[in-house]
Amino acid sequence: MDHGQDLKSTIKRIAVEQFNRNGYHGTTIRTIAKEAECSLPMVYYYFSSKKDLFHEIIRKDYFHILDREAQKLKTTNILDFYTDFIVNVMNLDEHDRMVYRLGVKVYLSFDGDEDLLAVMEAWEASIVPRHYQLILPHLKDASNPKARVRTLMHLLENLIERVVVKNQTLVEQEIREELSIVLGL
Amino acid sequence: MDHGQDLKSTIKRIAVEQFNRNGYHGTTIRTIAKEAECSLPMVYYYFSSKKDLFHEIIRKDYFHILDREAQKLKTTNILDFYTDFIVNVMNLDEHDRMVYRLGVKVYLSFDGDEDLLAVMEAWEASIVPRHYQLILPHLKDASNPKARVRTLMHLLENLIERVVVKNQTLVEQEIREELSIVLGL
DNA sequence: GTATATATCTAACGTACGTTAGGTTACAAA
DNA sequence: TTTGTAACCTAACGTACGTTAGATATATAC
């Protein structure tokens, strides 16, 4: 009971860093243990396998971030809503951005397995109709509203990727301009 | 001299498939050799190392596809120009799409090393001003033309990713709609 | 017919991997 | 004071990795 859960979260924190830097196959239990300053079997004391460690990061931490960020937002103005979303993601601390990046990597099937991908695609399938419901009412007088929603989702995906994957810093005003163009506001 | 360069390109073809499916670290010389139906050292006969094999795929084949696709396009109409670009990428054969996907993976720093990434960023830095030169003259009467170019590049990046990374089939008319919204045409 | 070069192989090197067996502390409960 | 258990360790297992040494076959050149 020296450290207890302390060490578990240290291990996970280091694992996130290494999975990010070197990918799943490029990361080894040994280097995780070394950087976490514990012995190798301690990783197995807290996680049943390497795969389990990776899965816990995605299934728990990644989706926790998604849920948390979704609940932060107020639906007053549609343009503010999506601008805030991107800005909030940009303001995540470094660790959460790394978890997010790992999630995107799995989403693009660049890492992880079919199980994790299936979870993500189910999540996406549940969220897409919500975007339509949310946006369409605001687009009554714009042309081709469905294509605008589609374009918006594509743009958002790219902006998220720039922020969490390529670590770019975007300017709020520029984000707002781009969303505004797509929404036709 | 049984097969000669034949085997070299077979090895590279198989390598592209496996690097795509399992990533750089998840791919082994042994499984490449097995699937190429040759012995393990034959891979080293044609490529000096695993890293060299990966580098040749990106530096030669990926950039060859980029150049080829760029030269295919006619600059008559700006909307056709970018629509054709996406449609052409969608119509690449499976192997070329896999090479493209590998390139995107490197571009997102999900695989490869700093050397390869530097080459890509140099390429991107050279291409971005060309987009501005190409598009801006067509946007004289649209509002906020610079933001439109930026948005267009973000949208294009996402569409490319959907096609080559997520293997989605997009409908030409829908692509055109999205580009048209962003360009304000 | 011998020499040369290309294309292929079997076998092994040293290293590192994921994982586990089995032991040692330290502290709390009985 | 013994017992139990949570938190940690060293050491090793079997496997697989990237890479290389060294031999063989085949075909062309002289």
3-state secondary structure chain B: CCCCHHHHHHHHHHHHHHHHHHHHHHCCHHHHHHHCCCCHHHHHHHCCCHHHHHHHHHHHHHHHHHHHHHHHCCCCCHHHHHHHHHHHHHCCCHHHHHHHHHHHHHHCCCCCCHHHHHHHHHHHHHHHHHHHHHHHHHHCCCCCHHHHHHHHHHHHHHHHHHHHCCCCCCCHHHHHHHHHHHHCC
**Is the CB atom of residue A41 positioned under 7 angstroms from any atom of strand D?**
yes
Chain A residues 137-176 within 7 Å (CB) of strand D: none
| Measured distance CA(B97)–CA(A123) in Å, rounded | 27
CATH for B51-183 (3.30.70, 1.10.3470, 1.20.120, 1.10.357): 1.10.357
Checking if the pLDDT of B13 tops 60, the result is yes
**Single-letter amino acid code for the residue at B177:** E
The alpha-carbon radius of gyration of chain A (Å, integer) is 19
Instruction: Produce one character per residue of B173-184: b if its CB has 16 or more CB atoms within 10 Å, e if not.
Output: eebbbbbbbbbe
Chain B residues 113-132 within 7 Å (CB) of strand D: none
Checking if the pLDDT of B94 tops 90, the result is yes
**Nearest nucleotide to B2 by CA–C1' distance?**
C7
Task: Select the residue of A105, A150, A174 nearest B110 (Cβ to Cβ).
Answer: A105
Residue of A nearest to B143 (CA): A181
| Measured distance CA(B66)–CA(B118) in Å, rounded | 16
Question: CA–C1' span, B40 to C11, in Å?
Answer: 12
| Measured distance CA(B10)–CA(B123) in Å, rounded | 28
Question: CA–C1' span, B1 to C1, in Å?
Answer: 22
Residue of A nearest to B114 (CA): A21
- Strand D nucleotides, any atom under 7 Å from protein beta carbons: they are 6-12, 16-22, 26-28
**Nearest nucleotide to A47 by CA–C1' distance?**
C19
The whole-chain average pLDDT of chain A stands at 95
| Percentage, residues of chain B above pLDDT 90 | 94
Residue B50 CB: number of other CB atoms within 10 A? 18
Handedness of CA B154, B156, B158, B160 (dihedral sign): negative
Instruction: Please report which confidence band the pLDDT of residue A2 belongs to, taking 50, 70 and 90 as the band edges.
Output: low
Checking if the pLDDT of B113 tops 90, the result is yes
**Nearest nucleotide to A53 by CA–C1' distance?**
C18
Task: Select the residue of B105, B111, B154 nearest A159 (Cβ to Cβ).
Answer: B154
What CATH number labels A1-47?
1.10.10.60
For residue B43, give both structure tokens.
Answer: 């891979």
Segment B18-74, tens digit of pLDDT: 999 999 999 999 999 999 999 999 999 999 999 999 999 999 999 999 999 999 998
Checking if the pLDDT of A4 tops 70, the result is no
**Single-letter amino acid code for the residue at A54:** F
**Single-letter amino acid code for the residue at A50:** K
**Is the CB atom of residue A4 positioned under 7 angstroms from any atom of strand D?**
yes
Q: Is A140 strand, coil or helix?
A: coil
> Mean pLDDT over residues A5-31, rounded?
96
C-alpha B33: how far from chain center: 25
> Mean pLDDT over residues B153-169, rounded?
98
A182: which chain B residues are within 8 Å (Cβ-Cβ)? 151, 181-182
Checking ipTM against 0.90, whether it exceeds it is: yes
Question: CA–C1' span, B25 to C25, in Å?
Answer: 39
Sequence spans of domains, chain B? 1-47, 51-183
